[in-house]
Amino acid sequence: MPEQLPLISGRIASRAEIPRAGRIVVKVGSSSISGANAGQIRPLVDALATAHGRGSDVVLVSSGAIATGIPYLRLDSRPTDLATQQAAAAVGQNVLIYRYQDCLDRYEIVAGQVLLTAGDLENPVHRSNAQRAMERLLGLRILPIVNENDTVATHEIRFGDNDRLASLVTQLVRADLLLLLSDVDALYTRPPGTAGARPIHHVAFGEDLAEVEFGDIGSAGVGTGGAGTKVAAATLAAASGTPVLLAATTQVAAALEGADIGTWFDAAPRRQ
């Protein structure tokens, strides 16, 4: 076997250094792991387990509770009223965690469910408690699976999308990398499939993306995020010192191995 390189706890400067990252936050969207794509959970877990096995701390921010719960409520589409969304989330979160743990069992990795609201991270006491719990889970080599606590969140206190939640969790645990996964393989100059759309390989810190035409990334009608929310989340994480890679869920293994794929967002330069 090749010699295992030491993990880096701190600045990751390029895709090639991802396999050496000491702590990684991975975010996956609803459309990538629910409905017809529920089967993508297993290869996603395989990739996370590989990173975990080489010593990295891994945190998964997973959407999909509402989308997973919809069939169990015998609904034809995503509900629009808050109460039914909360009911779907209550059912779907249980099923979703079971699916993740069922896949993790093969690697003898235990998942820890962490449900947060925006208020939890805005309140200093709650934030400190959440941070302490996350650090303890990671110290015990548990794989935290984070989602918004939909059953108690209201429209006024919601994160709005799990891309933002992932960015805030990245700050909370001081991660070395944020990997944003969706059903699109990169950020494009305009919605993929439209004339003239080109993938953006690299975004320097502070680069003006005003000319990028944002469209929805999710294609299954079950998510709430899009390219705009991912860029906003990437910008937030990068400003706090963590680089971001945006890639397709189907590319997660390659992304965590340091392949030259997706869109890389540079972190803010270190202060002298």
Domain spans, the chain: 15-257
Asked if pLDDT for residue 42 goes beyond 90, the answer is: yes
Asked if pLDDT for residue 218 goes beyond 50, the answer is: no
What string of DSSP letters covers 96-112?
HHHHHHHHHGGGT--EE
Least trusted range by pLDDT, from 164-168, 192-196, 260-264, 268-272: 268-272
- The predicted pLDDT at position 209 comes to 87
- The predicted pLDDT at position 155 comes to 57
Q: Quick one: DSSP state of residue 2?
A: P
Q: To the nearest 10°, report the CA torsion of 129, 58, 111, 2.
A: -150
Contact 23, 9 (CB under 8 A): yes
Asked if pLDDT for residue 220 goes beyond 60, the answer is: no
> How far from the centroid of its chain's Cα atoms is residue 156's Cα?
22
- The predicted pLDDT at position 153 comes to 67
Contact 173, 121 (CB under 8 A): no
Higher pLDDT, 193 or 108: 108
Least trusted range by pLDDT, from 21-35, 95-109, 144-158: 144-158
The residue among 204, 189, 190, 195 whose CA lies nearest residue 264 is 204
Asked if pLDDT for residue 110 goes beyond 90, the answer is: yes
**Which tens digits make up the pLDDT trace of 121-132?**
888 999 999 999
Strand partners, 143: 111
Measured between alpha carbons, how far is 238 from 40 in angstroms, rounded to an integer?
Answer: 28
Measured between alpha carbons, how far is 184 from 224 in angstroms, rounded to an integer?
Answer: 15
**Residue positions in the annotated binding site for substrate?**
63, 150, 162
- The predicted pLDDT at position 169 comes to 96
Highest averaged pLDDT of the listed ranges 94-108, 112-126, 220-234: 94-108
The overall average pLDDT reported for the chain is 89
Measured between alpha carbons, how far is 165 from 4 in angstroms, rounded to an integer?
Answer: 32
- The CATH T-level fold of domain 15-257 is Carbamate kinase (3.40.1160)
Confidence of residue 82 (pLDDT cuts 50, 70, 90): confident
- Token pair, residue 175, equals 């991660």
Percentage helix, strand, coil, to 5, in the chain? Answer: 45, 15, 40
Contact 52, 58 (CB under 8 A): yes
Measured between alpha carbons, how far is 62 from 181 in angstroms, rounded to an integer?
Answer: 10
Asked if pLDDT for residue 237 goes beyond 80, the answer is: yes
- The predicted pLDDT at position 157 comes to 44
Contact 121, 172 (CB under 8 A): yes
Mean local confidence (pLDDT), 37-56:
97
Contact 107, 138 (CB under 8 A): no
Confidence of residue 152 (pLDDT cuts 50, 70, 90): confident
- The predicted pLDDT at position 156 comes to 46
Percentage of the chain beyond pLDDT 90 is 71
**Residue positions in the annotated binding site?**
27, 63, 150, 162, 182-183
**Residue positions in the annotated binding site for ATP?**
27, 182-183
- The predicted pLDDT at position 4 comes to 62
Asked if pLDDT for residue 100 goes beyond 60, the answer is: yes
Measured between alpha carbons, how far is 177 from 267 in angstroms, rounded to an integer?
Answer: 10
The residue among 54, 87, 47, 48 whose CA lies nearest residue 71 is 87
